Amino acid sequence: MARVIAGVSSSHVPAIGAAIDNNRTEEPYWKRVFSGFEKSKEWMAKAKPDVVVGVYNDHASSFSVEIIPTFALGCAAEFPPADEGWGPRPVPVVKGHPDLASHIAQSVILDEFDLTICNKMEVDHGLTVPLNLLFGSPEEWPCPVIPLAVNVVQYPPPTGHRCYMLGRAIRKAIETYPEDLKVVVFGTGGMSHQISGPRAGLINSKFDKAFLDNLTKNPKKLARIPHIEYMREAGAEGIEMVMWLIMRGALDDKVDEVYRFYTVPASNTAVGHIILENKKAAGRKTKRAAAPFKSALRGGRP
């Protein structure tokens, strides 16, 4: 059976992508940021996941105010980089895993989470920057990636509890997929930041570090944080951290914290990062689910 081996959370600051694309990673300002991910790249090279589920938010690249899905799962075979106003980023096309994505869609929807299924979708820096930070800049991404876009731009976003429970449902889906796959779940966005208004530039390191502590030790406490507290303590864009709870919900209740990194600022944002591994559990058994409706979910004929 497939299994979730670890979760990774990382900020997805667009300026980080620009620094990579314009060969500025060795400049003193940016070297401080990128040096914090060297151990992470080493860990990822050893972990060698077969699939990544990448939780991120779209920045008006694939979706607009005309259509605002709360949760949108990419079930396509590939996802090209989006033009975010200055052309697509020079990064590889993201290759999907349609079979596993369709299986997740079926399982999660039958568990009463209403997903939007996307058979065509472009992905922006929200997804590609974390892939760079964990995999470097290869000619092709080393494994398939299933994008899960979450609305944290237009009110109302999903609650932290809803995100945490979705993570648990995704884990259940993965563990009932019949192929032997190692899956790593990414939760991206945040940490504290606000990009406009009188509090533009806000960074709350105390809130951020407490969030990282509880992500490891007490995620259910984080799941109870209301929207207004994210706004007050972490800025208008701090709400992106609910996406980290999808990652955390996909893991064991008790996890091993492998690595964390935190620095300020990068652009006007706090950069946070953590790697959590499920504790090794020999002989874990899972219940086989019904075969997924692959062609129907991917837009083919059932």
Report the alpha-carbon angle 280-282-286, nearest 5.
105
Give the pair of three-digit tokens for residue 72: 């949108």
Helix orientation angle between 160-175 and 98-110, rounded to the nearest 10 degrees: 120
DSSP classification of residue 23: T
| Residues designated catalytic | 125, 193
Query: Which of 35, 44, 33, 38 has its CA nearest to residue 7?
Result: 44
Give the end-to-end CA distance of the chain in Å, rounded to a whole number: 25
Give the pair of three-digit tokens for residue 62: 């694939």
Report the distance separating Cα 114 and Cα 92, nearest Å.
Answer: 30
The beta-strand segments (E) located in the chain are: 3-10, 51-56, 71-74, 78-79, 94-95, 116-118, 145-150, 182-188, 255-266, 269-278
Report the distance separating Cα 87 and Cα 32, nearest Å.
Answer: 27
CB within 8 Å of 84: residues ≥ 6 apart? 14, 59, 61, 124, 125
Tokens 């062609």 — which residue?
295
Strands of 182-188's sheet in order across: 116-118, 71-74, 145-150, 51-56, 182-188, 3-10, 269-278, 255-266
Report the distance separating Cα 174 and Cα 171, nearest Å.
Answer: 5
Report the alpha-carbon angle 156-158-161, nearest 5.
140
